[in-house]
Amino acid sequence: MKYSELKQILKNHKLRVTDSRMDVLEHFLTHKKALSFKDLEEKFSTYDRVTLYRTLNSFTENGVLHKIPDDSGFATFGVCYDTCSSDHHHHNHMHFKCNECGKIECVDEHLPVIELPGYQIQEANLILNGICKSCGEA
């Protein structure tokens, strides 16, 4: 992705353009899968832990990334693309976690509408577990 496109994404989400934000955003967009803090820490040893935590936090608060629930105990994050803003996250979709390689991907299918009498559902998350395409072909 071009530098100008990355810069525009940050500006659209009311974020200052910094080297760390540009690098982390490009990393997420290149990999097209959920990434954890540990993944970022391994990739970007030039940035300290606080910088990486702050980058993830600002991306999540401003609608660039969304936090993906996971049973591993480690938070993972996925790109919101154009679905979220700095005011509100608007993503009710499924995630697929491979039992072989552990990769988590956003699934483009939307969740069916669920109505529970007396409840106000504000966000829905669903994780599907199984074998991803790559591991299934091996």
pLDDT tens across 49-68, in order? 999 999 999 999 998 998 88
The end-to-end CA distance of the chain, in Å, is 30
Q: What is the mean pLDDT of residues 99-121?
A: 84
Q: How far apart are CA 49 and CA 84, in angstroms?
A: 26
pLDDT tens digit string along 73-96? Answer: 778 898 886 666 556 655 667 888
- Residue 104: which pLDDT band, with cuts at 50, 70 and 90? confident
SS3 assignment for the chain: CCHHHHHHHHHHCCCCCCHHHHHHHHHHHHHCCCEEHHHHHHHCCCCCHHHHHHHHHHHHHCCCEEEECCCCCCCEEEECCCCCCCCCCCCCEEEEEECCCCCEEEEEEECCCCCCCCCCCCCCCEEEEECCHHHHHC
Sign of the four-CA dihedral 50, 19, 85, 70: negative
* Domain boundaries, given as residue ranges, for the chain: 3-137
**This prediction's pTM:** 0.78
Q: What is the mean pLDDT of residues 102-130?
A: 82
Q: How far apart are CA 42 and CA 45, in angstroms?
A: 6
Fold (CATH) for 3-137: Arc Repressor Mutant, subunit A (1.10.10)
